[in-house]
């Protein structure tokens, strides 16, 4: 499941972070393994074989007693959602087996009422139906059912049929069985009912054993208005269905409750098939023209995954449904639901970013058809067993179908960096982490269940080799088919595959892998070379952003390396291991004293690497001489790691800045993405420095070549990542004032105004922002008026962000004043967000924003009725403090704080919070700015010297030439 796939990239100015940590679960207690890990791992295996549930030793009163288990459900639902009615009625028949003698059946139910229940002995023909006494416990959502006849006992191994009728209401929070609506082209309102059951919301639609290991077969019947149609996991049973009654075929395999799905609407569909497997894509009728990419990609991706695992898709259909307003996607078996923006692609208006996102999310949800559906997780402790695989194969499957996209670069810049960043904080829980309440389970959906396990699995895929990894996954899926599993089944399958392929490993996988799944964090490898003896030492410590923290944790670390003499980054299998020890010594005569040495080919291993300064210098020189000799993902990671080490005081700034000097020869996305983050962070701190022009000169020299190569115009049929790279390079070039960039961007706006030349979707955001940085008042006012008059929400969003990029104080004054001008057509959300687009774009915007609030703080504060930190006045003042980088700005902001601090529209600790944020910035400047400015000034001076030497050579040559004639 993806719970909002939007990947946010932001400047964390106060903490000097490269990227914002996303979906991080921070807890005080981390499940570290003790030092005797190998012994404990062996003990775990013995416990498992003895039937002991290690993870349930904690208080487990939220778990069902499991004295009965389901075999089959027949569900009947009646809904009148077509007219907006939220009430529905239901009937569920559950065939169940008693696993021990009991008189009470315990199920889950949520927000359901009117229960009437009976039970029949399933082994007797024409058995009598006995009434059940119903009780309900709200906290645990337990529905307990006991026969009123005291002589009835459910004896061990007997089968019974439980029937429950009930009523409920469609929810309005997009969870469980819920109601949604859309408006058609004629402004008519249409309703629909759909589902989102993961993790614990199936119990809202029908009483059930709502735990992932409680698999059963299902039959579904939905009664609805004849003008609507219904969908579920299985195809429609045409014979049994009638007008207004849709009966679905019984599932031919067992399914966990959270993967059951229904959808009732007046949707239209497009269809196709491959190898006789029908595919359909459903949406609002007006969006049928946007189906093609999602439908075709789905067909190809599903087959690609089946081929890789060598395990067929288990159901007789695949349907994808575009749901308005949904914040992510859900992998219901055979009926996958998506937010519309994650499935529908318009060839005219959608961007390549949208295209890649759609393919990536389809691959994520389709991977779940095997990992999570075909083999379920035994409990939410092992959520990573499905979400980690889904995240990894969201790239691998897309790479198989669209190899020209080179999507692993995007994995590196997103999930890989997100995982490393979040895991370095030191408070993130391990991949394997017990949870039992619905709230605890919901909190598991974070980086430690998605991005990190994807990276760890990717590491072992490369370390073991793809043949072994692939064979291991096949064994895992076939040995545990239509059942549930925990991590040990995966480890055993991978070990079996390694044995079959005669792969020699230094330790068993069920010993090595838990150092990654049951411990948080990851290693920092420190490489120290002996340049006279062709040797190097690799030492591991657990990485923490705080370099003074040492947890003592160690890992089984697979690694490999390349050098200047042997710069082959293709073979990524592990050549060496750190076997849960602190260090290893390696002698290699092929690595000469003048060679650079780089560990972790293609950055497939999940760790950071620091080198001695001489090797860093050799790498920097190698990048300048032959950048393409080093893999692009390694080039990116060298920048990411060096910046992380600089920001945590493990490396001096001059090493990082020297690395950046190779960028004139760089044209790939991942390295430029890393460089962009670094440049923006430096720029945010240094833009108020007296020597800021030297910094800008340095960045201009880095970006000029690539800017001239790519320009501001989208190019048809060029590689997808080239478009991504262009957007980064244009933003960097215009940020530091590359004249051609500013002129070219502004010309795009002029052409739009005077000749109606449309701006291409892929460069629209960059064009509006950078074109308006230094625009005339005529151009600026044109787009300001467009904001007030346009009804296109997407266009308004481009304008809202672009208008804030201006560096003209008068233009910005008009813009920020519109937020409180009730004669201007702005939504309440636009009024309270446009200010942030101004003060985050430089000193001019910051000072304009401070002045605006100083004069209008009461009116601005009244834009929201809430008080405290949620109020836009308080929120924006705190946010502005993150952008203060000189004393003049500090004085002006503190004057504003002093003026407003007694207002009930600001938080009580406003002054303290603002001062703390600014102190963080000034502390960084005091510690770091001299190093950075010294380097860039020296760089500029060297460039002048080189230019003067070049001019002198030309002059001498001219003199010598002329002298021949005299």
The whole-angstrom distance between residue 768's C-alpha and the CA centroid of its chain comes to 27
DSSP string, 639-706: HHHHHHHHHTTSS-HHHHHHHHTTGGG---HHHHHHHHHHHHHHHHHHTTSTTHHHHHHHHHHHHHHH
Residue 358: exposure state from Cβ atoms within 10 A (0-12, 13-18, ≥19): buried
- In Å, what is the CA distance from 470 to each residue of 461, 501, 604, 774, 819? 8, 11, 16, 54, 57
Our answer to whether residue 566 is catalytic in this structure is no
Q: What are phi and psi of 482, to 5 degrees?
A: 55, 35
Nearest to 875 by CA among 922, 840, 902, 910: 910
- In Å, what is the CA distance from 37 to each residue of 43, 521, 544? 10, 16, 21
Phi-psi region of 276 (alpha: psi -120 to 50; beta: other; left: phi over 0): left
CA dist., res. 167 & res. 605, Å (int): 52
DSSP string, 212-271: TT--BEEEEEEE--TTSEEEESS-B-TTT-BTTEEEBPPPSS-B-GGG--EEEE--EEEE
Asked if residue 914 has a cis previous peptide bond (ω within 30° of 0), the answer is: no
Which residues are within 8 A (CB) of 537 and not within 5 positions of it... i.e. 6 or more apart? Answer: 527, 528, 529, 530, 583, 584, 585, 586
Q: Do the annotations mark residue 368 as ligand-binding?
A: yes
Q: Mind spelling out the 3-state secondary structure of 708-725?
A: HHHCCCCCCCCCHHHHHH
| H or E element that contains 29 | none
Nearest to 401 by CA among 412, 409, 393: 393
Look at the block and give the residue holding tokens 């210098």: 617
Q: Residue 88 in contact with residue 60, Cβ under 8 Å? A: no
Which residues are within 8 A (CB) of 828 and not within 5 positions of it... i.e. 6 or more apart? Answer: 863
The structure tokens listed for 791 are 């009804």
CA dist., res. 148 & res. 573, Å (int): 64
Q: How many residues does the chain have?
A: 966
In 840-871, where does DSSP find H-type helix? Answer: 843-861
Q: Do the annotations mark residue 387 as ligand-binding?
A: yes
119 forms beta bridges with: 130, 162
DSSP state of 208: B
Beta strands 375-377 and 483-485, pairing class: parallel
Cβ atoms within 10 A of the Cβ of 586, count? 17
CA dist., res. 623 & res. 621, Å (int): 5
The one catalytic residue in 38, 141, 198, 365 is: 365
CA dist., res. 952 & res. 505, Å (int): 62
Q: Do the annotations mark residue 364 as ligand-binding?
A: yes
Cβ atoms within 10 A of the Cβ of 786, count? 17
Helical axes 692-710 vs 669-686, angle rounded to 10°: 160
- Sign of CA pseudo-dihedral 55, 58, 64, 68: positive
Q: Residue 522 in contact with residue 40, Cβ under 8 Å? A: no
CA dist., res. 928 & res. 933, Å (int): 9
Helical axes 872-881 vs 843-861, angle rounded to 10°: 160
Residues with catalytic function: 365
The annotated binding site for Zn(2+) is made up of 364, 368, 387
Which residue positions form the known binding site? 364, 368, 387
């Amino acid at each position: 499941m993806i719970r909002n796939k939007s990947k946010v990239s932001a400047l964390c100015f106060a903490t000097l972070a490269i990227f914002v940590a996303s979906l991080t679960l921070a807890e005080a207690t981390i499940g570290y393994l003790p030092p005797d890990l190998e012994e404990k791992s062996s003990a775990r295996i013995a416990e498992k074989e003895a039937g002991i549930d290690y993870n349930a030793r904690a208080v487990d009163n939220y778990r069902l007693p499991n004295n009965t288990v389901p075999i089959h459900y027949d569900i009947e639902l009646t809904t009148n959602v077509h007219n907006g009615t939220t009430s529905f009625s239901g009937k569920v028949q559950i065939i169940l087996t008693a696993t021990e003698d009991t008189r009470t059946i315990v199920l889950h139910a949520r927000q359901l009422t009117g229960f009437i229940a009976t039970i029949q002995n399933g082994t007797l023909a024409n058995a009598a139906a006995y009434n059940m006494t119903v009780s309900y416990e709200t906290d645990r959502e337990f529905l307990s059912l006991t026969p009123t006849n005291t002589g009835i006992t459910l004896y061990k191994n007997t089968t019974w049929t439980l029937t429950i009728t009930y009523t409920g209401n469609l929810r309005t929070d997009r969870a469980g069985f819920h109601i949604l609506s859309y408006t058609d082209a004629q402004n008519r309102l249409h309703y629909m009912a759909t589902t989102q059951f993961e993790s614990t919301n199936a119990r809202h639609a029908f009483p059930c054993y709502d735990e992932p290991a409680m698999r059963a077969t299902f039959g579904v019947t939905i009664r609805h208005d004849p003008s609507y149609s219904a969908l579920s996991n299985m195809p429609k049973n045409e014979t049994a269905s009638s007008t207004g009654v849709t009966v679905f075929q019984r599932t031919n395999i067992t399914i966990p409750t959270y993967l059951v799905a229904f959808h009732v609407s007046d949707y239209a569909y497009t269809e196709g098939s491959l190898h006789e497997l029908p595919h359909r894509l459903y949406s609002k009728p007006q969006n049928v023209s946007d189906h093609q990419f999602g439908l075709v990609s789905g067909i190809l991706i599903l087959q690609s995954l089946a081929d890789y695992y060598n395990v067929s898709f288990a159901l007789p259909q695949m349907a994808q449904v575009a749901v308005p307003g949904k914040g992510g996607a859900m992998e219901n078996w055979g009926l996958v639901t998506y937010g519309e923006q994650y499935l529908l692609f318009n060839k005219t208006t959608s961007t390549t970013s949208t295209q890649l996102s759609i393919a990536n999310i389809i691959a994520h949800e389709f991977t779940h058809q095997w990992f999570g559906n075909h083999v379920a997780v035994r409990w939410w402790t092992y959520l990573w067993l499905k979400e980690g695989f889904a995240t990894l194969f969201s790239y691998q499957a897309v790479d198989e179908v669209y190899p020209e996209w080179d999507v692993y670069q995007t994995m590196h810049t997103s999930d890989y960096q997100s995982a490393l960043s979040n895991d370095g904080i030191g408070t993130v829980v391990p991949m394997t982490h017990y949870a039992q309440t619905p709230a605890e389970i919901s909190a598991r959906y974070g980086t430690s269940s998605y991005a990190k396990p994807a990276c760890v699995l990717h590491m072992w895929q490369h370390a073991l080799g793809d043949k072994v990894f692939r064979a291991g996954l096949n064994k895992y899926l076939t040995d545990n088919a239509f059942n549930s599993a925990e991590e040990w089944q995966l480890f055993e399958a991978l070990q079996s595959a390694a044995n079959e392929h005669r792969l020699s490993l230094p330790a068993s996988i069920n010993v090595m892998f838990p150092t990654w799944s049951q411990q948080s964090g990851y290693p920092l490898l420190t490489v120290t070379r002996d340049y006279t003896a062709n040797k190097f030492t690799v030492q591991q410590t657990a990485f923490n952003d705080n370099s003074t923290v040492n947890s003592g944790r160690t890992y089984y670390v697979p690694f490999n390396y390349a050098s200047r003499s042997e710069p082959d980054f293709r073979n990524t299998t592990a050549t060496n291991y750190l076997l849960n020890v602190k260090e290893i010594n390696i002698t290699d005569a092929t690595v000469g004293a003048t060679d650079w040495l780089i560990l972790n080919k293609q950055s497939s291993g999940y760790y950071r690497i620091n080198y001695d300064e001489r090797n860093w210098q050799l790498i920097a020189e190698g990048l300048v001489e032959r950048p393409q000799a080093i893999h692009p993902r390694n080039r990116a990671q060298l920048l990411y790691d060096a910046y992380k080490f600089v920001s945590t005081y493990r490396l001096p700034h001059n090493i990082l800045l020297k690395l950046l000097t190779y960028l004139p020869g760089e044209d790939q996305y991942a390295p430029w993405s890393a460089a962009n983050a670094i440049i923006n962070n430096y720029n945010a701190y240094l833009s108020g420095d007296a020597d800021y022009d030297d910094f800008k000169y340095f960045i201009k020299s880095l970006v000029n070549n690539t800017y001239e190569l790519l320009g501001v115009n989208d190019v048809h049929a060029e590689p997808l990542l080239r478009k991504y790279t262009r957007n980064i390079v244009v933003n960097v070039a215009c940020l530091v004032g590359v004249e051609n960039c500013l002129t070219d961007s502004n010309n795009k706006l002029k052409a739009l105004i005077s000749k109606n030349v449309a701006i291409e979707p892929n460069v629209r955001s960059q064009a509006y922002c950078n074109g308006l940085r230094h625009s005339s008042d005529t151009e600026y006012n044109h787009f300001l008026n467009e904001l007030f008059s346009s009804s296109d929400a997407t266009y308004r969003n481009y304008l809202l962000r672009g208008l804030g990029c201006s560096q003209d104080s008068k233009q910005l004054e008009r813009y920020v004043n519109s937020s409180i001008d009730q004669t201007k057509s702005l939504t309440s959300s636009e009024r309270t967000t446009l200010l942030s687009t101004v003060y985050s774009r430089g000193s001019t915007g910051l000072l304009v924003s401070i002045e605006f609030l100083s004069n209008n703080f009461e009116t601005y504060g009244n834009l929201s009725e809430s008080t405290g930190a949620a109020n836009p006045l308080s929120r924006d003042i705190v946010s502005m403090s993150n952008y203060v980088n000189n004393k003049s700005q500090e004085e002006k902001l503190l004057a504003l704080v002093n003026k407003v601090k007694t207002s009930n529209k600001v938080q009580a600790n406003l002054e303290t919070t603002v001062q703390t944020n600014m102190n963080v910035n000034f502390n960084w400047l005091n510690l770091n700015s001299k190093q950075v400015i010294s380097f860039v000034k020296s760089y500029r001076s060297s460039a002048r010297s080189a230019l003067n030497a070049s001019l002198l050579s030309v002059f001498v040559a001219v003199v010598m030439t002329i002298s021949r004639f005299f």
